[in-house]
């Protein structure tokens, strides 16, 4: 029975180390509303779950509203909640393939974009960078 526990632990550790060697790909979601585009991306700065950053890009530029150094799942949770908010505000969001990850936000700035409804802008709570340890 003791050998079974050792075998189970050895299998568990080898499975963990095998998965930790593989780089994690960034998760990118593109949201659109009319001719406007927003990109919400979870970026794994070292190819592992942490550290990570949530990048929010629009025509005016990119911000990093959330980041985490040690808390696995934090960036994914924040990005998912923000994507839900975008969809509730009327934006159509869909996950993008990693092949699209290098494309910049390309929607032109127009008069219509300048006079966006207040509900389409990121809420004030998104602007400050929140870091999780």
Does some domain include residue 39?
Answer: yes
Token reading at 99: 């092949």
Residue 67 bridge partners (DSSP) = 53, 131
91 sits in the region (left: phi over 0; alpha: psi -120 to 50; else beta) called: beta
Does some domain include residue 84?
Answer: yes
Does some domain include residue 121?
Answer: yes
pLDDT at site 21: 53
How much of the chain is in helix, strand and coil states, percent to nearest 5? 35, 30, 35
Q: How far apart are the first and last CA of the chain?
A: 39
Does some domain include residue 1?
Answer: no
Does some domain include residue 82?
Answer: yes
Query: Which parts of the chain sit beneath pLDDT 50?
Result: 1, 3-20, 99-130
Does some domain include residue 2?
Answer: no
Q: How many CA atoms lie within 13 A of 6 on its CB side?
A: 3
How many domains does the chain fold into? 1
Domain of 113 in residue numbering reads as 23-99+108-132
Does some domain include residue 112?
Answer: yes
Q: Check: pTM over 0.85? Answer yes or no.
A: no
């Amino acid at each position: 029975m003791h050998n079974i526990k050792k075998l189970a632990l050895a299998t568990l550790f080898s499975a963990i180390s095998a998965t930790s060697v593989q780089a994690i790909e960034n998760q990118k979601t593109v949201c659109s509303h009319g001719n406007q585009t927003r990109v919400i991306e979870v970026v794994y700065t070292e190819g592992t779950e942490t550290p990570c950053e949530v990048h929010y890009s629009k025509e005016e530029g990119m911000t990093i509203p959330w980041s985490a150094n040690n808390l696995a799942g934090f960036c994914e949770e924040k990005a998912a909640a923000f994507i839900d908010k975008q969809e509730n505000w009327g934006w159509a969001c869909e996950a993008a393939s990693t092949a699209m990850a290098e494309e910049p936000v390309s929607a032109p700035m127009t008069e219509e974009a300048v006079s966006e409804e207040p509900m389409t802008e990121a809420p004030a709570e998104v602007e400050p960078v929140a870091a999780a340890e």
